[in-house]
Amino acid sequence: MKIYFSMRLTVAVAVGIMLGTIAYAQQKPCATASKFGADDQIGNLNYITAEKTLAASKLVTTGKAYRLAIETNKDVPAFPPRTFSIVVLQPGQVAGGTLGATKTTYNDDIITGWVGVGTGIDGLGHVGIDNLYFNCNKAADFVAANGLKKLGVENIPAVATRAVLLDMAGYLNTDIVKEGTAFNRAEIEGAMKRQGIKSIEKGDVVLFYTGWLKLIGKDNKRYEDGNPGLGIEGAKYLASLGVAIAGADNENLEVVPFEKGAGVFEVHQILLAQNGIYIIENLNLAEMVKDKAWESFFTLGTPRVTGGVQAIVNPIAIR
Amino acid sequence: MKIYFSMRLTVAVAVGIMLGTIAYAQQKPCATASKFGADDQIGNLNYITAEKTLAASKLVTTGKAYRLAIETNKDVPAFPPRTFSIVVLQPGQVAGGTLGATKTTYNDDIITGWVGVGTGIDGLGHVGIDNLYFNCNKAADFVAANGLKKLGVENIPAVATRAVLLDMAGYLNTDIVKEGTAFNRAEIEGAMKRQGIKSIEKGDVVLFYTGWLKLIGKDNKRYEDGNPGLGIEGAKYLASLGVAIAGADNENLEVVPFEKGAGVFEVHQILLAQNGIYIIENLNLAEMVKDKAWESFFTLGTPRVTGGVQAIVNPIAIR
Amino acid sequence: MKIYFSMRLTVAVAVGIMLGTIAYAQQKPCATASKFGADDQIGNLNYITAEKTLAASKLVTTGKAYRLAIETNKDVPAFPPRTFSIVVLQPGQVAGGTLGATKTTYNDDIITGWVGVGTGIDGLGHVGIDNLYFNCNKAADFVAANGLKKLGVENIPAVATRAVLLDMAGYLNTDIVKEGTAFNRAEIEGAMKRQGIKSIEKGDVVLFYTGWLKLIGKDNKRYEDGNPGLGIEGAKYLASLGVAIAGADNENLEVVPFEKGAGVFEVHQILLAQNGIYIIENLNLAEMVKDKAWESFFTLGTPRVTGGVQAIVNPIAIR
Amino acid sequence: MKIYFSMRLTVAVAVGIMLGTIAYAQQKPCATASKFGADDQIGNLNYITAEKTLAASKLVTTGKAYRLAIETNKDVPAFPPRTFSIVVLQPGQVAGGTLGATKTTYNDDIITGWVGVGTGIDGLGHVGIDNLYFNCNKAADFVAANGLKKLGVENIPAVATRAVLLDMAGYLNTDIVKEGTAFNRAEIEGAMKRQGIKSIEKGDVVLFYTGWLKLIGKDNKRYEDGNPGLGIEGAKYLASLGVAIAGADNENLEVVPFEKGAGVFEVHQILLAQNGIYIIENLNLAEMVKDKAWESFFTLGTPRVTGGVQAIVNPIAIR
């Protein structure tokens, strides 16, 4: 089966290169068909095998663990009209009441919010092409008002793999990379070379550091209005390498304003819908860059809200 | 400083054993003072040093990663009156509208729910003793209706440490351990011995498998009404060992009905308030038990909702 | 202007009768054009003039006021996937705290729910025909994820007019009218005759009593699965009379299962989209029927949530 | 019984005047006992009898109906930390889907918000004295995290009574009455005299116009920070007259900053807890003042959210 997949992939990629995306799509059950079969709901996370995890775990050499999430709250800039709120209350304790002989007291909390606020993963049901989502799933078939019937984030497996961090600010010799700066194959390979990273491999997580997070609290409007990020050719390049997740320290990962001739969030379409590659946004990568933690062991446990499109997450990178 | 802490701990523990909790409390700034100083907000997670993480990472020998969360949704049994709901919608796409030349479509989601539904971590601001919470924090000083001002889950660092899994069902030679069965020092050491686990150490995560999760969907009422779990002496024992997190495959971790003479959720008070030990509930540990994954590399990235009391999480164990 | 409208209406109705709806639509700017001009957002509520209100107020002869709403909560049957929840909390009063010298304490509440739970009014932006809503408003132009830009319930004026109550259970000589029973012109006129109601007039509210509300708490499934109600011909008849609001003591007002050959919620389309007639559902009309309060002074103040599609209401009828 | 109540009231009022509130409280089952018996949950709304309603209906002389609510949304100033949001969505219509032969489309809406945003009524469970609420209800007995068990707004009957509008801006010869200006007996009687209002009677609604609403959108901070309003003596005076509801065109009705020596929201305590008088805030009274609609027929249908502390309302005044 493994060989079958490898061969099938080799052929598919070759065909894709020769005939282009449209022709390629005609070879597949649909334009967003998964390489991993008709039942697949997790795309390139399939590349993260036990072997891959085991190998990645060897990247832990100092034991330093990085918390990659920023905070989620009502003030963090978020894609409109997203909002977020939390309420803390003390059920059953009005009037200073306590429970039992040891006078137990407790707080509980309720959150109400658009999921895409703060550090979040985009599930494969987030972005589609004319209502066709990953692996030939048509919106009318799986999208319900009370949760996705397929492609929900509850399907995301335990992620433990290699992360490659690309310091695009360092590569471009700047503090904060300018909005609209597209990262394509040349920039990706340039940054890799500068940092001594030899390859990006199947099942890897690729993280882009742009310095953009520094704007939060200082210029939220600019943070929201655009960002440097992955370009269309770059997205296709990462897809050709079999990347499992792409992430960045800004809100879109994808370059905004979009490249000339690009569609609206076309990079999202390429990654999520066409290639089953997850996206993580608003990551705090600053300390990793400071430590030159270019390669690390990356783990992600996604809260399993049934039918969720996205999830608020906090990946851990360890080196 | 390290030596100072060790000595201080040794003395404190000795005093505690001699004089009991009340007398011990009189030695400290308050009954819930942290061993890690007046500014501490993360309790025993302080024990998870880089050395600890590095050592734990060596437990990865096969690369198999376990997703320990169950799903969070409106149907999963939850402590009353907790509820949960999700809404999926398509902003800006009414009437079949798509965005731009590549016809982008997308789903967004909004969650509204009590945080303690599904697999969740209890932060140190969750349970107190007569409104005194961990590290001398009085409710009136840090609890606000729109979020905790201290002890919120946003403070939880990246967790990457050793997990010890105790198969209590195996130890008690049963499929599902009966509700009200307390795990104290004898049971903990008995299970360890049976499984060949030599020690529980500072900064460890201790996970109790009871088979209780099998009831979900079959007998939700029984799932809710009680469970086997940690007893008071057992909680104090784990605290004496410096455990960072205690977790279980049921809703309370703590034995319910409570032990004779015990307070209401007194184990929660001992762990969270008195010792700065976090609690994770509703964990799916079945596959780990099947694989006898008694020791593993445990990573946890807690979604950083500012001021959150608890968090919906999905820890990853790797061996 | 008034004469102009009258003439225009007379002509329009005549044309409508002769040529049918499709032909009629061709006479108008669009199939849902308002009789009250291009800027109109309130449809037949325009008929409720001060003269109408003054005349209706004379119907108050005993001073008995009827509360027509049922309760809204998580248990009341509601159209799927609608849910509702409330949280009560005491901001700033943890640990038994009170405010100031007079020891003030207070409760606050937060609601989270689909608006269409309990007694509710459907605004004119609720139901459309292929995304064309009342008065030529296309969904793409006025529907946003964070609220309607037009036709929102905040536009609903103070309603004080005449209500006519039709006792359909009495007319059909039954306790609870069977689901699927359609009320068309014959039934409406039959009930009027039986009750001695001489006419239904412009700006009136017409309320249908079916006994259906008796099912709540006894057979919620049956309550949800269908109900007796207004048929297509009956809806067109009410529209021809210039009714402002139609209401019923069940969830749909409209007969469900739909009449043979009818579209899905076609009566809603006829009333809301084509004729600017509001709908109120889940009304408690039992006491009015008991008192034979066939004609009354009806007042409705709709909570003005900006951009709201529907609203939870509690109309008052007085006789 | 009626005579009994009258006598009891006469005695009680006399005692109250002679001995003051504390002594008076000692005569009653508790300091907040209702005049209407131990089971009473609606306080002075009991004064609104059919006779009262019938008499009030005669105030309708022109048929002009006033919508007294302002809008409720995320931008309207609200008492911290209150927030409000609405979501509009189209269940089952992804990808431009329509329902059935007549191509039905529809919008639904979900609201999430603190109830006290916009025009709202305070129920009798809103404010208490050291956790004692109206009619001897102790918080610990009736306040639950998922709704009040007593005194909830679902108990509020149909309100149809006389409203008296006091133009305090006119009385004080100003456009916007200054914050901190207290309305006590002298001011109330002064305004009545100026407007030719002979009396305030049992079961009346008293509405205070201050011009304060003009600040919304212009100076929200000032709107929030205080307002002119009812003073302690004025509140007691209204209570002595048997007023059922007191309302104003600002956020607190009560004067803020509080009068010298006054408690925190003591007027709320006097009205809600001690006297069973409801409060309506953020009313739009401008047009009534312009029309000199000093006396009117006031109707209020409160949305019946079970266990609700407050409700978003839209009273209707008709003259």
List pLDDT tens digits, range A86-122.
Answer: 999 999 999 999 999 999 999 999 999 999 999 999 9
Query: By three-state DSSP, how is residue B232 classified?
Result: helix
| Residue-level pLDDT at B10 | 38
- How close is the nearest chain B Cα to the Cα of D88, in Å? 8
- Using CB atoms, which residue from D82, D299, D313 is nearest to C303? D313
- Using CB atoms, which residue from A102, A111, A131 is nearest to B105? A131
Tokens of D11: 């005695």
List pLDDT tens digits, range B165-180: 999 999 999 999 999 9
Tokens of B248: 């279980």
| Residue B146 pLDDT greater than 80, yes or no | yes
Mutate to test the interface with C, among B84, B85, B88 (most CBs of C within 10 A): B85
Contacts with D96 from chain B: Cβ below 8 Å: 95-97
* Residue A95 touches partner C, C-beta closer than 8 Å: yes
Contacts with A145 from chain C: Cβ below 8 Å: 81
- Using CB atoms, which residue from A91, A92, A131 is nearest to D94? A131
Contacts with B91 from chain C: Cβ below 8 Å: 144-145
Does A81 sit behind a cis peptide bond, omega within 30 degrees of 0 on the bond before it? yes
Q: Mark yes or no for CB contact D143/A94 under 8 Å.
A: yes
* Residue B173 touches partner C, C-beta closer than 8 Å: no
Q: How would you class D166 by CB atoms within 10 Å of its CB: exposed for 0-12, middle for 13-18, buried for 19 or more?
A: buried
Residue with tokens 């006789």: C319
Does D81 sit behind a cis peptide bond, omega within 30 degrees of 0 on the bond before it? yes
- How close is the nearest chain A Cα to the Cα of B231, in Å? 15
CA-to-CA distance for A256 and B110, rounded, in angstroms? 24
* Residue C279 touches partner B, C-beta closer than 8 Å: no
| Residue B24 pLDDT greater than 50, yes or no | no
| Residue B128 pLDDT greater than 70, yes or no | yes
| Residue B4 pLDDT greater than 60, yes or no | no
Query: Which of 7-26 (B) contact A at CB < 8 A?
Result: none
CA-to-CA distance for A137 and A274, rounded, in angstroms? 11
| Residue B252 pLDDT greater than 90, yes or no | yes
Of A24 and B35, more confident: B35
| Residue C152 pLDDT greater than 70, yes or no | yes
Contacts with A105 from chain C: Cβ below 8 Å: 95
* Residue B98 touches partner C, C-beta closer than 8 Å: no
| Residue A16 pLDDT greater than 60, yes or no | no
B96: closest chain D residue by CA: D96
First and final CA of chain D: distance in angstroms? 34
Q: Mark yes or no for CB contact B91/C144 under 8 Å.
A: yes
Q: Which residues contact D26 (CB under 8 A, 6 or more apart)?
A: none
| Subunits with 3+ C-beta pairs closer than 8 A to C | A, B, D
In degrees rounded to 5, what are phi and psi of residue A6?
Answer: -60, -45
Residue with tokens 């006389």: D162
- Using CB atoms, which residue from C109, C145, C265 is nearest to D308? C109
Q: What percent of chain A has pLDDT over 70?
A: 92
Mean pLDDT of B241-264: 98
Residue with tokens 């909702």: B305
CA-to-CA distance for B137 and B143, rounded, in angstroms? 9
List pLDDT tens digits, range C12-53: 333 333 344 444 445 679 999 999 999 999 999 999 999 999
B29, amino acid identity: P
Mutate to test the interface with C, among A87, A98, A111, A112 (most CBs of C within 10 A): A87
Contacts with C113 from chain A: Cβ below 8 Å: none
List pLDDT tens digits, range A189-239: 999 999 999 999 999 999 999 999 999 999 999 999 999 999 999 999 999
C108: closest chain A residue by CA: A89
| Residue-level pLDDT at D19 | 40
Does C228 sit behind a cis peptide bond, omega within 30 degrees of 0 on the bond before it? no
DSSP state of A160: E
| Residue C195 pLDDT greater than 60, yes or no | yes
Mutate to test the interface with D, among A73, A94, A138, A141 (most CBs of D within 10 A): A94
Mean pLDDT of chain A: 93
Query: By three-state DSSP, how is residue C129 classified?
Result: strand
B134: left (phi over 0), alpha (psi -120 to 50) or beta: beta
| Residue-level pLDDT at B28 | 79
Residue with tokens 């523990």: B13
Lowest pLDDT segment from A284-288, A290-294, B22-26, C268-272: B22-26
Q: In what order do the strands lie in the sheet with A137-138?
A: A137-138, A132-133, A127-129, B104-106
| Residue-level pLDDT at D28 | 79
| Global pTM value | 0.91
User: Is the torsion defined by CA of D169, D174, D177, D181 positive or negative?
Assistant: negative
- How close is the nearest chain C Cα to the Cα of D144, in Å? 7
Of D16 and C107, more confident: C107
User: Quick one: pLDDT band at residue A28, thresholds 50, 70, 90?
Assistant: confident
| Subunits with 3+ C-beta pairs closer than 8 A to D | A, B, C
**pLDDT beneath 50: ranges in chain D:** 1-25
Does A303 sit behind a cis peptide bond, omega within 30 degrees of 0 on the bond before it? no
Does B303 sit behind a cis peptide bond, omega within 30 degrees of 0 on the bond before it? no
Q: Mark yes or no for CB contact B147/A88 under 8 Å.
A: yes
Q: Mark yes or no for CB contact A95/C96 under 8 Å.
A: yes
Tokens of B194: 């049976």
User: Quick one: pLDDT band at residue A25, thresholds 50, 70, 90?
Assistant: very low
Strands D245-248 and D295-300: unpaired
A4, amino acid identity: Y
Asked whether D65 and D317 are in contact (CB, 8 A), the reply is yes
Lowest pLDDT segment from A57-61, B8-12, B110-114, B138-142: B8-12
| Residue-level pLDDT at D14 | 38
| Residue-level pLDDT at A26 | 52
Contacts with B107 from chain D: Cβ below 8 Å: 94
Residue B3 CB neighbours (<10 A): 7
User: Quick one: pLDDT band at residue A27, thresholds 50, 70, 90?
Assistant: low
Q: Mark yes or no for CB contact C95/B145 under 8 Å.
A: no
Opening angle at CA D71, ends D68 and D77, nearest 5: 110
| Residue-level pLDDT at D43 | 98
Question: Taking the CA atoms of chain D, what radius of gyration do you get in angstroms?
Answer: 21
A209: left (phi over 0), alpha (psi -120 to 50) or beta: beta
Q: Among D229, D290, D295, which Cα is nearest to D265's? A: D229
CA atoms within 13 A on the CB side of A102: 22
Q: Among C254, C2, C272, C10, which Cα is nearest to C135's? A: C272
CA-to-CA distance for D141 and D125, rounded, in angstroms? 12
Asked whether A253 and A281 are in contact (CB, 8 A), the reply is yes
CA-to-CA distance for C180 and C229, rounded, in angstroms? 7
In degrees rounded to 5, what are phi and psi of residue C229?
Answer: 170, -175
| Residue B188 pLDDT greater than 70, yes or no | yes
Mean pLDDT of chain B: 93
Asked whether B164 and B200 are in contact (CB, 8 A), the reply is yes
**CA-CA distances (angstroms) from residue C206 to B28, C90, C239, C283?**
73, 42, 11, 12
Tokens of D125: 């469970």
* Residue C66 touches partner D, C-beta closer than 8 Å: yes
Q: Among D87, C252, A172, D97, which Cα is nearest to B97's? A: D97
